[in-house]
Amino acid sequence: MSITLASAIGLAGVASVSGAALFAFSADTNAVGTLTAKASFVPAASTTGVSGLRLVSGKQVKQSWVRIVEGAYDSGTVRSTLATNPRDTKTYEAVTSKFNSPFYDAVSDYGWYYF
């Protein structure tokens, strides 16, 4: 599933516990036209019971990735730092940005790798 800019402006998906974001994806454009895609996670969190965000239930995320394609531009797959410990409580994040051209539709995508 890819997300076009039209649907991605201000798009956010978050799975949280007690207000702490454990898994999140967002794609938005700021006031000066920069499109940013982000996917973050906490390795110690299990995906069990988490719906949405294309997470596989019962797993723990070790890496996230994001990508932006617009016209001839392709960011490629931009990955977060690889978590090596499934008990790690640090938040990891993959981020990519580009100036949004008014002449092309931008598409963002994201995903997860598991332990």
Reported as a single tens digit per residue, the pLDDT across 12-53 is 577 655 556 799 999 999 999 999 999 999 999 999 888 889
Measured CA to CA, the distance from residue 97 to residue 86 in angstroms comes to 28
Q: How many residues does the chain have?
A: 115
| Nearest CA-CA partner of 37 in 115, 114, 110, 104 | 110
Reported as a single tens digit per residue, the pLDDT across 69-107 is 999 999 999 999 999 999 999 999 999 999 999 999 999
Contact 6, 107 (CB under 8 A): no
| pLDDT of the residue at 56 | 93
pTM (predicted TM-score): 0.84
| pLDDT of the residue at 21 | 79
